[in-house]
């Protein structure tokens, strides 16, 4: 059983009520519950912390950095330090938004980026992470 890590940046706790026309009506709690159910159904576990991840047996990270995407070298350094593959995820299409949102401190070191599919992106990230862990149909562009 692999352990997957799901991280969410600032303000994502407001999903469902924060600008629903942009981010949709689904709450972060619902998103996390769905992701946990998908991981569990595939025989895996989803947990929630970063530095302890390697010692806890985490093998893949699903990460929505929120506004930290454009500002946090410290989080980038932490991800590089632990050396685990991760998928960067965004609910909105950040490339179709304000120019400052088009720069990410994580995309170039991520196994992949999922952006603009609303909260469904979390489900896509779980599927991609599982494939990256060697599940059938593993895409060649995901590294572990």
| Residue whose pair of structure tokens reads 């530095």 in the numeric block | 51
Question: What is the per-residue pLDDT for 74?
Answer: 87
| Residue whose pair of structure tokens reads 């999903």 in the numeric block | 15
Question: What is the per-residue pLDDT for 44?
Answer: 85
Task: Tell me the pTM.
Answer: 0.78
- Domain ranges for the chain, please list them: 8-97+106-132
Catalytic residue IDs: 23, 90
The topology (CATH level 3) of 8-97+106-132 is Rossmann fold (3.40.50)
Question: What is the per-residue pLDDT for 45?
Answer: 80
The CA distances from residue 108 to 50, 55, 104, in Å, are 19, 25, 8
Question: What is the per-residue pLDDT for 138?
Answer: 41
Q: In what order do the strands lie in the sheet with 58-64?
A: 45-47, 3-8, 58-64, 86-90, 112-115
CB distance 73 to 105 below 8 Å:
yes
Among residues 112, 101, 35, which one has the least CA distance to residue 66?
Answer: 101
87 beta partners: 62, 112
Beta 86-90 vs 112-115: how paired, if at all? parallel
Question: What is the per-residue pLDDT for 48?
Answer: 64
10-residue mean pLDDT profile of the chain (144 residues): values are: 88 93 95 92 79 91 94 91 95 96 96 97 95 63 37
**Phi, psi for 83 (deg, rounded to 5):** 70, 25
């Amino acid at each position: 059983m692999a352990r997957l890590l799901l991280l969410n940046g600032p303000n994502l706790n407001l999903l469902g009520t924060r600008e629903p026309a942009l981010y949709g009506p689904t709450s972060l709690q619902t998103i996390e519950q769905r992701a946990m159910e998908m991981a569990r159904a595939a025989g895996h576990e989803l947990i929630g912390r970063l530095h302890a991840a390697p010692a806890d047996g985490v093998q893949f990270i699903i990460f929505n950095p929120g506004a930290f995407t454009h500002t946090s070298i410290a989080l980038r350094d932490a991800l590089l330090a632990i050396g685990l593959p991760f998928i960067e995820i965004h609910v909105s299409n950040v490339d179709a938004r304000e120019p400052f949102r088009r720069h990410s401190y994580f995309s170039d070191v991520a196994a992949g980026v999922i952006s603009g599919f609303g909260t469904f992106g979390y489900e896509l990230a779980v599927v991609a992470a599982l494939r990256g862990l060697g599940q059938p149909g593993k895409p060649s562009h995901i590294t572990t």
